[in-house]
Amino acid sequence: MQSFSPTVSVVVPTFNESQNLPRLVGLLDKAMGDIAWEVVFVDDDSPDGTWKVAKQLAMDDVRVRCIRRVGRRGLAGACIEGALSSAAPYVAVMDADLQHDETILPDMLATLQKDEADIVIGSRFVGDGSSEGGFSARRAFASRVATHLAAFIIGRQVSDPMSGFFALKREVFEAVALNLVPSGFKILLDILASTRGRMRVAEVAYRFRSRQEGLSKFDTRAILDFLGLLLHRLTGGTVSVRFLFFMIVGAIGLAIHLVVLRIGLLGELGFEVAQSAATVVAMTSNFLVNNLLTYSDMKLRGTAALAGLLKFYVVCGVGALANIGVASWLFVSNESWWIAGIAGVIVGATFNYTMSSIFVWRQQQN
Ligand SMILES: Nc1nc2c(ncn2[C@@H]2O[C@H](COP(=O)(O)OP(=O)(O)O)[C@@H](O)[C@H]2O)c(=O)[nH]1
Ligand SMILES: [Mg+2]
């Protein structure tokens, strides 16, 4: 039987990168010399048909594979699935946009093979590394701030913990995969945070190139993800990023509720009518914001969104009953009014979160 056993799988998450893939494969071919490698593109059903390009490349070259994921989004999750699909002893992760310098991959791999480190990071900020031209001044500044915050949660100084370019043993990746947050944007940071100090880290410098084709997906959501990840890790992994988002959205919903209630009262609607209007507006806006942010990786669209909204109303309705039930019970058992009130809100919100994760955005929680 013919066999092809790669030493390293290069996992490349993609979203709308069709123009970059053929060049990337060519560059990998040149850079890897006699190392047996494969590349695994993990595409989240890109509208520009990146997966079609990847599969065409795969038809022409056994070293190219493609996983097309449907109905989900998420950079970290894509990397995890790509790495888990690999049988090679080593796994590297890099961007598709040619910003990462593939010529350092052999160095990274050699460091792992000599067992000098458990994880090797391609770094823009160490030695001859540089990000000139590849990074706007504003992003370079944000990245520096984030690097300091990151050092705090991973418990050590790493020059480029936000890097999307790194390599490690597949077994090590598999061992940590279960603890990672798949909707996140910063998977390396998550790996370092969840293994806090237990990994031997090496860094290899490279020059960050500027993006030629396609657009960056780094956006406000990526920044929120980062902050969520920080909180998740600060609470020892007990509070999930999703739960935090859900609670923040809930708090904003409360503010919206109060504004609508006030307007209703000023408009001389009776209290009950104004309160009901405020409740519907707040629930609807909570649903929309949660659908966009908290569950952006499994966003509901069209009729599914409408059905989701109706289910969300039901869940929140039951949540409100639970809230009132617990609060009243505590209140009559002589707890002070504010303890009763807060306990009711916590129970109601937790109920809403758990039930909507199961019934509205049907998925396991993480
Ligand atoms: N599969 C998948 N890939 C993504 C997603 N978001 C970004 N990517 C890919 O992840 C890599 C890094 O994203 P990029 O937009 O270059 O971020 P930047 O380098 O921080 O500006 C690129 O190869 C993107 O195509 C996603 O939701 N799913
Ligand atoms: Mg990039």
Provide the 8-state DSSP code for 48: T
Which residue, by CA, sits nearest to atom 21 of ligand 1? Answer: 216
In a domain, 19, yes or no: yes
Does the Cβ of 96 fall within 6 Å of ligand 1? yes
One domain, residues 258 and 132: no
Query: What pLDDT, in 10s, does the model give residues 5-36?
Result: 999 999 999 999 999 999 999 999 999 999 99
In the predicted structure, residue 132 carries a pLDDT above the cut 70 = no
In a domain, 220, yes or no: no
One domain, residues 248 and 328: yes
**Ligand 1 atom closest to Cα of residue 20:** 23
Other Cβ atoms within 10 Å of 46 Cβ, number: 18
* DSSP secondary structure letters along 77-100: HHHHHHHHT--SSEEEE--SSS-S
Mean pLDDT of 196-220: 87
In a domain, 117, yes or no: yes
One domain, residues 203 and 258: no
CA distance 272 to 51: 53
| Residue in 81, 83, 38 with CA at minimum distance from that of residue 63 | 38
One domain, residues 55 and 114: yes
Domain count, the chain: 2
Does the Cβ of 187 fall within 6 Å of ligand 1? no
In the predicted structure, residue 289 carries a pLDDT above the cut 90 = yes
Query: What pLDDT, in 10s, does the model give residues 152-171?
Result: 888 888 888 888 999 999 99
One domain, residues 110 and 250: no
**Ligand 1 atom closest to Cα of residue 43:** 1
List helix spans (H) across the chain: 21-32, 50-60, 75-84, 105-113, 137-154, 170-177, 187-194, 220-234, 241-266, 271-289, 302-332, 337-355
What residue type is assigned to position 39 of the chain? V
**Ligand 1 atom closest to Cα of residue 73:** 27
Q: Residue 88 belongs to a domain with what CATH number?
A: 3.90.550.10
Q: Check if the beta carbon of residue 8 is closer than 8 Å to that of residue 88.
A: yes
Does the Cβ of 73 fall within 6 Å of ligand 1? yes
Residue 103 Cα to ligand 2 middle (Å): 17
In a domain, 59, yes or no: yes
One domain, residues 184 and 247: no
Mean pLDDT of 42-65: 97
One domain, residues 183 and 121: yes
One domain, residues 210 and 246: no
**Ligand 1 atom closest to Cα of residue 96:** 23
Does the Cβ of 214 fall within 6 Å of ligand 1? no
One domain, residues 197 and 98: yes
Q: Two tokens at 217?
A: 């997906």
In a domain, 236, yes or no: no
Contacts of 226 (CB under 8 A, 6+ apart): 146, 185, 186, 189
Instruction: State residue 297's pLDDT score.
Output: 82
In a domain, 81, yes or no: yes
Residue 319 Cα to ligand 2 middle (Å): 42
Instruction: State residue 366's pLDDT score.
Output: 41
Range of the domain at 309: 241-360
Longest dimension (CA), the chain: 82
One domain, residues 133 and 274: no
Query: What pLDDT, in 10s, does the model give residues 97-118?
Result: 999 999 999 999 999 999 999 9
One domain, residues 189 and 250: no
Lowest-pLDDT range, 133-147, 190-204, 314-328?
133-147
One domain, residues 119 and 247: no
In a domain, 225, yes or no: no
Instruction: State residue 102's pLDDT score.
Output: 97
In a domain, 3, yes or no: no
